Amino acid sequence: MVGIRICLELGESTCFCTEAWMPELNASKGCLLLVFGRVADLYGRKKTFIAGFLSMLAFSLGCGFAQNEITLDILRGCQGIGAAAIIPASLGILAHAFPPSRARSIAFATFSAGAPVGAAFGMTLGGVLTQLSHTTWRSNFYLAAGLCGLGTIAGLISIDADEPSTEDDKRIDWLGALLITAGLVLVIFVLSDGELAPQKWRTPYIIVLLILGVLLVVAFVFWQLYLERVQEASSKEPAPPAQARRSGRLRHC
């Protein structure tokens, strides 16, 4: 219902909306989870959590004021950036708040159930708001912005301050992030738009993008294996120089 209303007001085909409405948020969210997981570990889970909610708030308001389909698509994709920051930060916060116990299992199970339950409830509430509100579908995004504001306030009040990172290597693997993000973007795009393409899954650009996306994901896997080998090699104690061994200075070892 919400998707059809959006398409009717913005001039987009209702067929597009009923088959695959705005996959941009899920695409950007799924592609950036790994990156923001690393960011949360290095710079603080609470900071990442709050920044994610503020980002979602800003882009939700932007979606509510969007005047055309292209603007709405871009803003929906930007919404996913905030969601990608919130999810790994939330998992880290739960792991820190609950020591290994039954309570931790319940906390993680509740968190995992939030996505399907929230999606079902959100779709129902969105349809009701679209029917009752004078601002049509835009009220859904205004409500989302308000909920993000509440999440920001709750996070500021209830979450403990971040502890300094104890990791020796504080670098972010930007090449790996680029490979996995680009690969997942292409794969998710193909899975979302494959049925909407002119020749469906036989459309040439769908096939090319799928192959390219898979190759980028495979390249990411090999890149991570290479980094692990380099790290293992650098962590081993280097062998003593041959000249030192010959001079007998290491006989006491």
Computed on alpha carbons and rounded to an integer, the radius of gyration of the chain in Å comes to 24
pLDDT at position 236 is: 53
- CATH fold of 1-162 reads Growth Hormone; Chain: A; (1.20.1250)
Mean pLDDT by 10 residues, the chain (253 residues): 54 48 72 87 91 94 85 87 91 87 86 77 70 69 90 92 75 85 87 81 90 94 89 59 46 45
Q: Alpha-carbon distance 211 to 207, whole Å?
A: 6
pTM assigned to the model:
0.73
Host H or E run for residue 95:
helix 69-97
Report CA-CA distances (Å) from 3 to 15, 66, 93, 169, 253: 10, 14, 34, 45, 74
- 197: Cα within 13 Å, side-chain hemisphere: 18
For residue 209, the one-letter residue type is L
**Boundaries of every domain in the chain:** 1-162, 171-235
Contact 9, 63 (CB under 8 A): no
Question: pLDDT value at position 149?
Answer: 94
Rounded to 5°, angle at Cα 162 from 160 and 165: 150
Residue 6 has a pLDDT of 61
Rounded to whole angstroms, the Cα distance separating 181 from 175 reads: 10
Burial grade of 207 (CB within 10 A; 0-12, 13-18, 19 or more): middle
